[in-house]
Structure 1
Amino acid sequence: MIDDPGGARVRLPERALSPFVRFSLYNSPYPAHDRGRAVDLYRDPDRDDDVAPSPVAGEVLDSHERRVPRKEYAEATDHILLVDVDTGSSGFDAGTTGDGYVARMLHVDPSVSPGERVEVGDPLGRFVRSGFFAPWVDDHVHLGFRRRDQHLLRAGGSLPLSVPADPRPLAWDGTGTVVERGETYVVLDSPRSDSGEWVGVAADGGGVLDGGLAHYEGGGLLGEGGDRDGTVSLLGYEVGEVDERTVEWGSFDVLANGERVTGISLFCARDPGFGAKVVHPGHGFEVGDRVEVGFRQSEEPIRLG
């Protein structure tokens, strides 16, 4: 992973999160997310349309179509959409934005053109089911920020980023009943929250875990609480080492009812219910099944990239 070169993080305004119900800084294997330099903003699953709302206000600079990894469930091309951010209208704190930012967004087939202005919440285009997605990944807008003098198309190089949400940690004992199933995952009924506030799965020592545990190389420890220079544990098992908020996962397998699975997809959410998402292509779980998650040491853990 790439170390931050110093300097303050770009603090995403609260209104940027308002059109979305879930977010993740670390649930991706790609360099653009190194040390939480980009955020994935997930669509509301209760919406019937596939329109992607804008998290920022500003002038559309350009869009670039690009070919992506070929996957039978995904589209052959994706897009990079560049917006010259109006920091005031977007809600950035005055005096913290320097010469301004360019927002770099992916996974949207744009319906907007260069020279057009967008406001927060305006439609950008339709969500793209990208070849960069694993099959269990929900549609989302990928958002990162660059200075105007930076290379705007290269995958790496976005500025360090933080989000305004302070997610409430939800204690979880590793068990739950399947309430939703797909071909590659199941969602459990716990941990549960109907508060409408941002929540996530609690690490044992405090804070909220983010990322693909442990099918990606690392994840994050978000929110308040927890040791920011030491070990991180979940369900009484040491899952990694944290440096500030970035976690390097250890060598272990994730188990569901004693069987090795791909992992757990961790993110922050405010839509009703929440619940742990267990990733396991070809699983045999059905709605109503009881599942118990655990860990065991492994010399060959599953790592995707």
Structure 2
Amino acid sequence: MSVTLPPDALDGFRRFSRFNSPYPAHDDGCAVDLYPDAVRGLSPVAGVVRETRTVGCPNRSYAANEDHLIVVDLDDAWCRRTGADSGTTARILHVIPEVSAGDRVEPGDDLGPTTRSGFFGQWVDDHVHLGFRAPGASALRASGSLPVDVDVPVDPIPWDGTGTVVERGPTHVLLDAPTHPDPGETFAAIASDEGVPLDGGLAHYAGGGAFGREDAAGDGAPTADPTARLDEGSPATLWGTRVGVASGRGLAWDPVDVLANGERVVGLSLFAARDAGYGAKVVCPDREFAVGDAVSLDVVPSDDPIRLGVG
């Protein structure tokens, strides 16, 4: 069984990703990270809060040393809309709860402020982590979530890997390219050479995913099912280099390095976005790019690729 989020579950969120994380909860697309327009955590689901908990997380100098879990018993009607069995529960993380057990929530309701959790990399923006558990399964364990799909189309954005730095963070830069084809209206993501929108941390996390593929008729139009993926075993290439192969619900990255102006960086963040500020995010804590610098990215095979774990 999988849970398919309807379009209204993403109201108030500007970006989303199922694979851009090293944590087991995201393995094989079993969770989705939803990036809000503001610093408030919105509910993507309808139901009744069962409980809230405060949990420990990795100690990071740039983040809080505790996180929060909100468990929601989903309404039967919401379950039917999403293909979930009656009794399915939702797990929401990275929000300081301003709701309590017994409170009813609907999509778009304010749950509380987001928090910068120690589970985040320093380059990761505040977001709402959402996963689901089957009826009777523990909602408190870190693993065991159901596969998640998202019922919105994601447009592929062809890109040659070049751009100019428009923002510098402590461990990343944002580029002015690629530009969103229709900001505010549709979700879009950087496309592989095959025209498939890509998801995940290339290649600093072990695996990624694809938001869509060409339809079976072969006319190049996106499928009606935005969660469709490359056929099992099909390769994905970027800028002429094979970067991974379809495996299960995601992509197993090949051993590759991302280069920026010819030198290795940690990687490239891949996600679906609909905001006008969309541009490539390059994870590069050891590089001193400045605003206004021209950057050209490439991907090359590697004997020792960077792989970030959960430690």
Judge same fold: TM > 0.5, yes or no: yes
**Aligned residue among 124, 135, 150 for 1:148:** 135
Aligned twin of 2:30: 37
For structure 2, the residue ranges without an aligned partner over 5 or more in a row are: 215-228
Partners of 2:18 and 2:136 in 1: how far apart?
24
Return the letter of the residue paired with 1:78: D
Moved more, 109-118 or 242-251: 242-251
Q: Does 1:258 align with 2:262?
A: yes
CA contact (8 A) 1:14 1:91 kept: no
Moved more, 258-267 or 79-88: 79-88
Instruction: Kindly state the Cα deviation for residue 91 of structure 1 after the two structures are TM-superposed.
Output: 7.9
Aligned twin of 2:81: 93
Helix, strand or coil at the partner of 1:301: coil
Identity of aligned residues (%): 52
Aligned twin of 1:16: 9
Helix, strand or coil at the partner of 2:156: strand
Return the letter of the residue paired with 1:60: V
Return the letter of the residue paired with 1:228: D
Partners of 1:110 and 1:253 in 2: how far apart?
39
Instruction: Kindly state the Cα deviation for residue 283 of structure 1 after the two structures are TM-superposed.
Output: 2.1
Aligned twin of 1:104: 91
Helix, strand or coil at the partner of 1:93: helix
**Aligned residue among 264, 271, 274 for 2:278:** 274
Partners of 1:167 and 1:253 in 2: how far apart?
26
List, as ranges, runs of 4+ consecutive aligned residues in structure 1 with deviation greater than 6 Å: none
Helix, strand or coil at the partner of 2:163: strand
CA contact (8 A) 2:96 2:114 kept: yes
Q: Does 1:205 align with 2:194?
A: yes
- List per-residue Cα deviations over 1:6-60 (Å, max 9, x = no partner): xx4211111111120100000000100001000000122xx3xx32111112110
Instruction: Kindly state the Cα deviation for residue 244 of structure 1 after the two structures are TM-superposed.
Output: 4.9
Partners of 1:97 and 1:269 in 2: how far apart?
26
Partners of 1:174 and 1:54 in 2: how far apart?
35
Aligned twin of 2:147: 160
1:103-182 correspondence runs (5 A): 103-182=90-169
Number of equivalent positions: 292
Helix, strand or coil at the partner of 2:70: strand
Q: Which has the higher strand share?
A: 1
Partners of 1:286 and 1:238 in 2: how far apart?
30
Partners of 1:23 and 1:92 in 2: how far apart?
23
CA contact (8 A) 1:11 1:92 kept: no
Instruction: Kindly state the Cα deviation for residue 194 of structure 1 after the two structures are TM-superposed.
Output: 4.9
CA contact (8 A) 1:129 1:139 kept: yes
TM-score by length of 1: 0.92
Instruction: Kindly state the Cα deviation for residue 285 of structure 1 after the two structures are TM-superposed.
Output: 0.8
Helix, strand or coil at the partner of 2:212: strand
